[in-house]
Chain A
């Protein structure tokens, strides 16, 4: 399941993501997560002038096609999608698991791409907002979001849709409460919540 309650970053210690990224550097390509000490050590190595960013080649299945990536091991999935594959529909709002703007599916499960390293994906399949419409046919939720004016600035919208679409895949006729539970980690500063809920109810009816 989606990581709704991330570990808090204590000042002076290492954040979960910093930890993951540090571990990434230390282990260069493997997904072994080292101890905190190892992370600190790897930080030191960053401070070493000889350090050169080492990139690695990986391939990843995204929205149905296999893509090749040349990235640093510490690159998050969000950054890989956005900066390397130019799939900028996935947004980064907080970069630490607190807003769900970066929600994508990995093997159909909503996942925070800011809390996931690209190298963690392995041979699983990533679906982003760009891959939700099938054969140019919009997902009913996308239609409903337009009909109900469930977007304002639109920055939270991809994350909202990826979260709610997953709910509808598994629960075709959710109650309002179930929708609220599913979307309870999605932050929206513009205040689209009432219309997002209405749109999701409506899309369920039409699916």
Chain B
């Protein structure tokens, strides 16, 4: 072990240094961004050229010789026993090479026992895959699908959260179930029992279980607020749908996948088809978005596997937009019963949360750890239940649980501020122990020239303006399956190799930056080869783990390479290794500037054609901080300004101010882009998106982009971003992700702004014009009484 001194704190606030004991293999401390050349700058994405010229090859674009196109016949009933399946006409259809019937379900929760008599799995949601076809074109595969006859014996079904909770509701599963959590960051507790369709409760997270004594806490309170909040089901809608090309051939399997986890996809496939992991290769060079839904192989991937195995040909199977909506994941809805107690001075005395949500046939409808972790409150209890319905399985979705949880918690805190007639920022100063959010609030006060918001609903005239604030909390996760190999070739080429994928967040570019900084090169000098399981293992793109997990080993491996090159340079320049400096692609003698050799020329002197160094993610400097709240988390504060037309109920978001931090920022442009994306998705969640299932048929009525309401250019407001550099001395790069924190607070900030505009609290998402008008009418009636 050795001791190094690292930057610690926030520039222009409390920046200092801290000594940490680290393994000898760790590189020297990286100075603050101001002193660096490539890190922390606006560096162009290294794959931008491929994206703007159309040469980027996504999974949807992959074409292999002899490739077939797969298509899935999905059940059009929400709950049924399959009596018979006739595929004979499809098999004979010209152009069809393989037909496969699913003998079991490859999605949702796993019942402890389930043995239907027909030999086929029961259908438990409308959209469940039943049969797959591989043919020479998608059109012909579709024709063949139309020739398949499935006889269903319909069963009673339930799609509504409240109805499914009632005693006597049709059961989705007959027994207790379990489900492995994906790598997307959703919390699924094992071994819980079900009563009817209701499973749980979960009462703890990694921040611990209940604390204190609720009853005592509410007794001590001067103010008690009780409210029920409801959030809707949101679908991920990545523009590139889920899909794979599977080539099950030649003793090994190659899979091109639009995935957030090459590792997860490979492991799923190996397990399902009983193959060694080393017989399965997964490649994902460009991925058209994921947002949490693309962590596993998926039932479609299993189907493509069977079809390729049967036909002996590569099979491409991309979901169409409707399949994407009904079967490929969603953010579960929630109903959250909240009760908060506080003293007159704002001190929280008790917080109780009871929630139900449905991830359809899957698990993962918890509302996160935000109520537990964000504010100091000695007496706290949560009970979170999963409710099964006959609907497509949920999936991790950008800050799973915490987006739903923030909508309730942050409105509750806002309501408390109004009740106590205090500034919502000052209230948070009192109850929020997070140092980073304190600085963020201070920065926002200056930036916005912040004053206590005007009295709610006090604007004259029909169009009323309002401002609202809300905060985000997300734990700083690290994934240890993060390994990077770096190669230098004799022509001076530098390669970075890892199985980690870039789903549009900019992983390729930050890897290039970190390695370039270490080697004294430019980002564009680095070739980044990622998204392939032939390379060393990489973390999944979920939970905002990638940047904090993969960039430290990248720097460590680059440092190892640099050490090898310095040794070579010292020999070439006839000096000591201590006397060598690297800068701008040159190796210098510190004492004699004229003695120098370029990176390129030095590489030419390598003893072998290629040198290589590999590093894996070390433990955090100072040890992992599991379950601590405050400085260590990825906090954020966001503000929304809205206009509400009280005659039409129409809400327009005029502006969002987002104050964020992600440790040491690596690429400013990319961070801004992610924050923009999180904010826009949050606005969509607040005002537009809503998966609607018809209770009479069990079918989603809006399964395409023209029906499922989304923001386009006119719905996107001005977004002002303030990024705060924050050094925590946690790793050799000290960087973290930003994807999830950017999405957590927005909907709550919009809801608080709407309250400030109209003086009526909107407790249900999405905040549609009809809900606004209904709420205004209700308030008017109550006032008249």
Tell me the A residues contacting B by CB distance below 8 Å: 6, 8-9, 11, 21, 46-47, 49, 51-53, 72, 74-75, 79, 82-83, 86-99, 101, 128-130, 132-133, 138, 142, 145-149, 151-158, 161, 179-181, 183-195, 197
Contacts and interface: CB of A to CB of B under 8 A. Distances in A.
B312 interface: no
Contacts of A52: 94
B345 interface: no
B506 to A, nearest CB: 8
B1 interface: no
A111 B143 CA distance: 27
Given A98-B704, A197-B713, A49 B89 contact: yes
B706 A96 contact: yes
B45 A189 contact: no
B321 A95 contact: yes
A75 B60 contact: no
B679 interface: yes
A175 to B, nearest CB: 13
B239 A145 contact: no
Contacts of A190: 239, 289, 504, 673, 677
- The interface centre, meaning the residue of A82, A94, A146, A155 with most chain B CB atoms within 10 A of its CB, is A155
Interface in B305-339: 320-321
B625 interface: no
Given A142-B52, A145-B51, A189-B677, 18 more contacts: A9-B704, A74-B139, A83-B63, A88-B60, A88-B61, A91-B58, A93-B239, A93-B240, A93-B705, A129-B53, A146-B49, A149-B670, A153-B287, A154-B52, A156-B239, A180-B713, A188-B239, A191-B716
B139 A47 contact: no
- The interface centre, meaning the residue of A8, A74, A93, A95 with most chain B CB atoms within 10 A of its CB, is A93
B321 A152 contact: no
Nearest to B239: A155
Give the 10 A-B CB pairs with smallest separation, nearest first: A89-B54, A153-B504, A191-B677, A155-B288, A154-B51, A88-B61, A129-B54, A149-B669, A98-B706, A191-B680
B157 interface: no
A188 B240 CA distance: 11
Given A49-B93, A191-B677, A93 B706 contact: no
B53 A133 contact: yes
B58 A155 contact: yes
Nearest to B674: A152
B85 interface: no
Interface in B42-58: 42, 44-45, 47-58
Contact of A92 (B49, B60, B92): B60
Contacts of A192: 673, 676-677
B291 interface: yes
- The interface centre, meaning the residue of B45, B672, B678 with most chain A CB atoms within 10 A of its CB, is B45
Contacts of A82: 61
Contacts of B777: none
Interface of B: 42, 44-45, 47-58, 60-61, 63, 89, 92-95, 137-140, 143, 146-147, 236-240, 286-289, 291, 320-321, 503-506, 669-670, 672-674, 676-681, 699, 704-707, 710-714, 716, 718-719
B677 A88 contact: no
Contacts of B138: 79
Contacts of B95: 53
B360 to A, nearest CB: 20
A194 B291 contact: no
B637 to A, nearest CB: 19
A101 B503 CA distance: 18
Contact of A101 (B239, B505, B677, B699): B239
Given A74-B139, A187-B712, A189-B238, A152 B673 contact: yes
A183 B503 CA distance: 23
B539 to A, nearest CB: 18
B55 A191 contact: no
Contacts of A79: 138
A129 B55 CA distance: 9
Contacts of B674: 152
B679 A191 contact: yes
- The interface centre, meaning the residue of A149, A184, A195 with most chain B CB atoms within 10 A of its CB, is A149
Contacts of A152: 289, 504-506, 673-674, 677
A112 B237 CA distance: 20
B54 A128 contact: yes
B705 A89 contact: no
B705 A187 contact: yes
A92 to B, nearest CB: 7
A180 B715 CA distance: 10
B505 A8 contact: no
18 contacts: A9-B704, A72-B137, A91-B240, A93-B321, A98-B704, A99-B239, A133-B53, A138-B53, A153-B289, A154-B504, A185-B712, A188-B239, A189-B239, A191-B676, A191-B679, A192-B676, A194-B676, A194-B716
